[in-house]
């Protein structure tokens, strides 16, 4: 699958259309996606920071496509996820990288990191587990 194909598949899902995310890199072990800033994504209207749920949703979506890669059939089912918020996400695009740390026959573990301008200053980090049967 190409990043463009995956982005088109995301466009079929209303919530992902709402996020307006675009996959820029994709292979069997990692994916990178970008989401442009929009006022509807604000969680703190006074400081104009992203809503934490939006950040977590974007991270989970990118992690899920990374866990699914190379498998036919049903999409992966989330078992659990942990998101650590490290700093506020301010106006501007948000970027997420998801990397598969382990993929077995039934379960996949994926680490995610999101940032804005500088990938050495992450906004949030996550650990996701998926059932991939």
Q: What is the pLDDT of residues 103-125, one digit of tens each?
A: 998 999 999 999 999 999 999 99
Q: How far apart are CA 27 and CA 32, in angstroms?
A: 10
**Which token pair is 116?**
């804005």
pLDDT value of position 2: 86
- pLDDT, tens digit (0-9, with 9 covering 90-100), for 15-74: 888 989 999 999 889 999 999 999 999 998 888 899 999 999 999 999 999 998 554 667
pLDDT value of position 72: 61
CB atoms within 10 A of CB 80: 8
* Assigned fold of 3-131: Thiol Ester Dehydrase; Chain A (3.10.129)
Domain edges within the chain: 3-131
**Which token pair is 39?**
């006022």
pTM for the model stands at 0.91
- pLDDT, tens digit (0-9, with 9 covering 90-100), for 70-95: 546 678 999 999 999 999 999 999 99
**E strands within the chain?**
22-26, 30-35, 42-44, 49-50, 77-85, 94-103, 107-115, 124-131
CB atoms within 10 A of CB 100: 20
**Which token pair is 53?**
């749920």
């Amino acid at each position: 699958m190409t990043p463009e194909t995956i982005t088109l598949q995301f466009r079929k899902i209303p919530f992902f259309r709402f996020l307006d995310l675009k996959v820029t890199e994709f292979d069997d072990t990692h994916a990178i996606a970008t989401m442009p800033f929009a006022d509807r994504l604000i969680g703190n209207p006074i400081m104009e920071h992203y809503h934490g749920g939006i950040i977590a949703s974007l991270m989970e979506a990118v992690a899920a496509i990374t866990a699914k890669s190379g498998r036919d059939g049903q999409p992966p089912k989330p078992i659990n996820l942990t998101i650590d918020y490290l700093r506020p996400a301010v106006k501007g695009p948000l970027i997420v990288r998801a990397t598969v740390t382990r993929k077995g026959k039934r379960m996949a573990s994926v680490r995610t990191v999101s940032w804005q301008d500088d990938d050495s200053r992450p906004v949030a980090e996550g650990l996701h587990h998926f059932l991939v049967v």
